[in-house]
Amino acid sequence: MENKLLFKLRDVNKSYDTGTQSVHAIRNLTCDIYHSDFTVIMGSSGSGKSTLLYLLSGMDHVTSGDVIYNEIPIHQLKEKQLLTLRKKRFWNGLSSYSLNPLFDTIRKCGSHGKT
């Protein structure tokens, strides 16, 4: 069985402009993630883990570089295309505890057949 390339990242950079300075969350990241691999993203607080997950899922946009999922250049997709891709392929379990009430509401609505 072939170990298919799932994500291909090339020279990925993500910066945030605070008005007075630019904060680099990710700098020059190049890596490949394969379908059958067990991949762990770890690091200290503020090291860019969540930012990377957002970039992989298309929930945020790279400052520069390429993010490719199954040969689809996520960094070039329009918002509607990203929405379709996320609905069909991704679920990003957000790590923000402030969203728990929202998730509870969605779960309750879903359990009654509503969306």
Q: What amino acid occupies position 7? A: F
Instruction: Give me the residues paired with residue 22 across strands.
Output: 17
Q: How many CB atoms lie within 10 A of CB 42?
A: 6
pLDDT in tens, the chain (115 residues): 578 998 999 999 999 998 899 999 999 999 999 988 888 888 898 888 989 988 988 888 999 999 999 898 998 888 888 888 877 776 544 444 445 555 555 555 554 444 4
The token pair at 22 is 């630019």
Q: What is d(CA 96, CA 57) in angstroms, rounded to the nearest whole number?
A: 16
Domain topology for 5-111: Rossmann fold (3.40.50)
* Domain locations along the chain: 5-111
Rg, the chain, Cα only = 16
